[in-house]
Amino acid sequence: MSQEWTAELRTEEGKGASRRLRHAGKVPAIIYGGDVEAKSIALKSNEIERALKLDADLYNTVLTLKGAGDAENCIIKDLQRHPASGFITHIDFQRASDKAIVVKRVPLKFKGKEASPGVKIGGLMSFMQTTVEVSCLAKDLPTAIEVDVSGLEAGTNLRLSQLTLPKGVQLTALTHGNTDYDQAVVGINKVKR
């Protein structure tokens, strides 16, 4: 899924210029990565806030930024918010080419909790991880990874190596070659009687 956002080039940089942009209802941002120099841009704050509220998957979606020179395919690498108001104060975009590997945190979506035999007999399901770090090409970046827990028995865990990943996606924790990184994602405690 791709989405288009309109951006404008920033000519002024620095704290004062960023503050003036925010007062004008815009969000300062930067595009970096690839073999091209970083580019400072500004986006309309209300459009960005609305888009992110309507679609949480945008954090892991390839976006097309137009209006600031050539159109650029990017992903949101970092997003800073004001600590009190929650408004977006700055966005970092990473260029997403078809050949470059992207490393990003992706949420886990658990399904089948009610059908799990361990939960049915009274076990309590514990979620050890709600996101995982993946590496893949930008076109293969999943918005979320589904985890089916419907077969979990009481006293068992589901580990990173047991997750079903989309084609072309790797868990960075498992690329270290050490089984210590194969951590539990979700588990059900034993039922005490």
Q: What is the pLDDT of residues 109-138, one digit of tens each?
A: 999 888 888 888 888 889 999 999 999 998
Q: What is the pLDDT of residues 164-187, one digit of tens each?
A: 999 999 999 888 877 788 899 999
Q: Are 49 and 88 in contact (CB under 8 A)?
A: yes
* Beta strand residue intervals within 11-87, DSSP E: 26-32, 39-44, 62-66, 72-81
Q: What is the pLDDT of residues 131-145, one digit of tens each?
A: 999 999 988 889 899
Pairing assessment for the beta strands 125-127 and 101-111 based on DSSP bridges: unpaired
Domains of the chain: 2-95 (2.40.240.10), 101-188 (2.170.120.20)
**For the residues 3-13, what does the mean pLDDT come to?**
84
In this structure, how many other beta carbons lie within 10 angstroms of the beta carbon of residue 19?
12
Q: What is the pLDDT of residues 64-118, one digit of tens each?
A: 888 777 888 898 889 999 899 888 899 999 988 888 888 999 999 999 888 888 8
